[in-house]
Chains A and B, each alone.
Chain A
Amino acid sequence: MNPITHIRARTAVLAHENIDTDRIIPARFLTTTERAGLGRYAFNDWRYAADGRENPAFELNKPAARACEILVAGRNFGCGSSREHAPWALLDYGIRAVLSSEIADIFRNNALKNGLLAVVLSESEHRYLLAHPGIELAIDVAAQTIELPDGGRFGFQLDAFAKHCLLAGVDQLGFLLAHNDAIERFERRRGEAA
Chain B
Amino acid sequence: MAARTLLDKLWDAHVVKAATASTPGILYVDLHLIHEVTSPQAFAELRARGLNVRCPERTLATLDHSTPTAPFDDLGQPVYASEEAAAQVAELEKNCAQFGIRLNGWNSDHRGIVHVIGPELGATQPGMTIVCGDSHTSTHGAFGALAFGIGTTEVGHVLATQCLLQQKPKSLAIHVDGELPANCSAKDLVLHIIGQIGVNGGTGHVIEYRGRAIQALSMEQRMTVCNMSIEAGARAGLIAPDQVTYDYLRERPYAPRGEDWDKAVRYWNSLASDADAKYDRVVHVDASRVRPTVTYGTHPGMVVALDAAVPAPASLQERRALEYMQVEAGKPLAGTAVDVVFVGSCTNSRLSDLRDAAAVLRGRSLAPRVRMLVVPGSLAIKHEAEREGLDQVFRAAGAEWREPGCSMCIAMNGDLAKPGQLVVSTSNRNFEGRQGPGARTVLASPAVAAASAVAGCVADPQSLLQEQAA
Name A's B-contacting residues (CB within 8 A).
16-18, 20, 22-23, 26-28, 30-35, 45, 50, 74-76, 79-85, 102, 104-106, 109-110, 113-114, 159-161, 164, 171-173, 175-177, 179-180, 182-183, 186-187
Contact = CB atoms under 8 A, between A and B. Distances in A.
A106 B155 CA distance: 13
A110 B49 CA distance: 20
Given A76-B203, A173-B160, A22 B431 contact: yes
What's the dominant secondary structure at chain B's contact region? Answer: loop
Interface string B292-326: 00000001000000000000000101001000000
Contacts of A186: 16, 28
B466 interface: no
B396 interface: no
A113 B233 contact: no
Contact of B200 (A76, A85, A113, A180): A76
Contact of A79 (B51, B65, B233): B233
B410 A27 contact: yes
A23 B120 CA distance: 32
B151 A161 contact: no
Interface string B44-87: 11000101000000000000011000000000000000101101
Given A84-B151, A176-B163, A22 B429 contact: yes
Interface string B426-470: 000101111001100000000000000000000000000000000
A172 B165 contact: yes
Instruction: Pick from A50, A75, A176 the residue with the most CB of B within 10 Å.
Output: A176
B151 A180 contact: no
Q: Which 4 A-B pairs have the closest CB atoms?
A: A110-B151, A33-B40, A84-B151, A82-B149
Contacts of A85: 152
Contacts of B167: 159
B153 A31 contact: no
B161 A180 contact: yes
Given A20-B431, A183-B161, A176 B233 contact: no
5 contacts: A17-B317, A30-B37, A32-B84, A81-B135, A182-B17
A33 B87 contact: yes
A102 B134 contact: no
A64 to B, nearest CB: 20
A160 B24 CA distance: 9
B412 A30 contact: yes
A22 B434 contact: yes
A79 B66 CA distance: 21
Given A75-B200, A76-B200, A82-B135, A20 B299 contact: yes
Interface string B1-33: 000000000000000110001111010100000
Given A81-B134, A83-B38, A183 B153 contact: no
A50 B419 contact: yes
B26 A160 contact: no
A113 B41 CA distance: 14
B105 interface: no
Contact of B165 (A104, A114, A175): A175
Contacts of B200: 18, 75-76, 79, 102, 104
Contact of A159 (B24, B135, B153, B233): B24
Contacts of B154: 109, 113
Interface in B366-423: 410-412, 416, 419
Given A160-B23, A176-B163, 4 more contacts: A82-B134, A83-B151, A84-B133, A173-B49
B153 A114 contact: yes
Contact of B411 (A28, A34, A82, A106): A28
B328 to A, nearest CB: 22
Given A31-B84, A31-B412, A179-B26, A76 B199 contact: yes
Contacts of B26: 176, 179, 182-183
Point out which of A81, A83, A159, A182 has the most chain B C-beta atoms below 10 A from its C-beta: A81
Contacts of A102: 200, 203
Contacts of A187: 28
A103 to B, nearest CB: 9
B362 interface: no
B91 interface: yes
B150 interface: yes
Contacts of A179: 16-17, 26, 161, 163
Contacts of B224: none
